[in-house]
Amino acid sequence: MPHFEGDIEKIGMEESSSPQSSSSAVHELERDAAEASSPPAVGVHDAANLNDMNDNDDRQFEFEEFTEEEIEAAATSVPESRPSVNIPPHSAIQSAGPGATPELMEMFYQRLFPFKALFQWLNHFPSPTSSFTNREIAFTLQNDAYLRYQSFPTYDAMKKEVIRLNPSRFEIGPVYSANPRDRKIVRKAAFRPLEKELVFDIDMTDYDEIRTCCSGTKICNKCWNFITVAIKVLDVALRVDFGFKHVLWVYSGRRGAHAWVCDKRARELDDAKRRAVASYLELVRGGAQSNKKVNLKRPLHPMVTRSLNILRESFSSTILVDQDPWRAPEHVDKLLKLLPDKALNQELKKRWETTSDQSSASKWADIDSLAQQGVSKSLDAKELKEAKQDVVLEYLYPRLDAEVSKHLNHLLKSPFCIHPGTGRVCVPINSARPETFDPMDVPTVSQLIDEIDEYDATHGTSESSEKLADYEKTSLKPYVEYFHRFVSDLMKEEMKEKRQLDQENGESLDF
């Protein structure tokens, strides 16, 4: 039996509630953002986590003991020490391709997974608080059983249980009003989700009707540009329009990316406000059978105008060249249906029928060329310009799985999990430079274990080698360090805010 009581079920993810919509929710959020301080420039700053304050997880820290200097000193990076465990040699494990075998997964959890940083990220403070102890963790076991409502008193307890269970993946849920393990013994009304990071999910399969290079679970650098552009558009919107500062983007391990908005204001949003934020950011609507998925009023909202300016930078290369969606004669009708003038459409169709192998870039240029030649007396130039803007948005604007964002009790795969199909690690993406991220370069669990073996074989048991954490010997190092800096920035801000509030209230802060 597991050490921590929970529900075991076959994969059947979250229990979704039906939040009520609120027409004023976006206005409330915009007002909150206006009152918040201006967000810093997007980038990676030299800060670190508070690992050194967590050596004894059971110790309770009193916030009054921290000085400003001590809070700043908490940003000094102290890597997790190398665990003292008996690890079977990698050569003893049969290769199973890129996928992650149970043996490889166990080694990964024991030697590489950044448990302490994950605890700090979820907890926001050095010692355990209800943000961690009342947080739901859900495990997918190697036999595909789904173990829900797990919770842990310390990071060390979570680490030991993860290593013991050796799940193929695990997911992060909300912070509840009571410990999730006690949900069966508390009144139903007393057990409810209180907070969770605002999350967004972008999946490449939602672009299948547009991308021509790949389909289904396959991706390449050409279609990954959809995700790159989506990160650029959404990251700016979250920071500028809502004033959020702590936005963590994470590679899903195969064909998508997740955003975790970790600001306190974001974590405390109820379902109605989450729905409002998702609706504000969602422009592309309708299934594969919809003729037109973008229908906007003019003049355009400033967010849409800003997004268009970002999209224009990539439209020519990503859509017209890489995807080339209208080259085949049978695909031009889709473009023509998005243009407003029938006479112009007829002339375009005639021209394209005589040049069957004409590229999408050439056909896109033909629209303005024929319009300027006056082939249609009824053509409205303003209406045509707006229609072309809608085409850019329909083909390149982020396609969100909005349901993921709308519900407080939704669970999402944890950063640094291993994708069971690809064996790749779900690593953070630097949102300041998303174009530098290559999913093909993300290490697999098998590769990481090989890198540790190679490093140890090269450097032996020198003193400097012994002091290194295992992740520092691998290509996982820059991703873990990025996560450490992100967590440190988040913790430093929340610690200072909490101390200031405590001083204003004249109360001591005990965890």
Residues with a catalytic annotation lie at: 136, 201, 203
Cis peptide before 299 (omega within 30 of 0): yes
Determine the Cα–Cα distance for residues 151 and 131; give it in Å rounded to an integer: 11
| 81: nearest Cα among 39, 104, 33, 114 | 114
As a whole number of angstroms, the distance between CA 377 and CA 21 comes to 45
Residue whose structure tokens are 């707006």: 386
User: In the structure encoding, which two tokens stand for residue 382, read together?
Assistant: 């303003």
Contact 412, 404 (CB under 8 A): yes
Q: Contact at 8 Å (CB) between 7 and 148? A: yes
Q: For residues 380 and 113, what is the distance between their CA atoms, to the nearest angstrom?
A: 59
Residue 109, helix vs strand vs coil: helix
Percentages of the chain per state (helix, strand, coil), in multiples of 5: 50, 10, 40
Question: Tokens standing for 464?
Answer: 């400097």
Task: Give dist(CA 349, CA 336) in Å, integer.
Answer: 8
Cα–Cα dist 252/441, whole Å: 14
Residue 455, judged by CB atoms within 10 A of its CB (0-12, 13-18, 19+), counts as middle
Please give the helix or strand (H or E) that residue 158 lies within, else none. helix 155-165
Answer left, alpha or beta for residue 243, where phi above 0 means left and psi between -120 and 50 means alpha: left
Classify 93 as helix, strand or coil. coil
**C-alpha pair distances (Å), 313 with each of 60, 306, 307, 389:** 51, 12, 10, 13
Q: Pairing state of beta strands 7-10 and 412-413? A: unpaired
Could you tell me the CA-to-CA distances from 459 to 278, 390, 451, 466, 504 in Å, in that order? 50, 57, 12, 10, 54
Asked if 285 and 398 count as a contact pair (C-beta separation under 8 A), the reply is: no
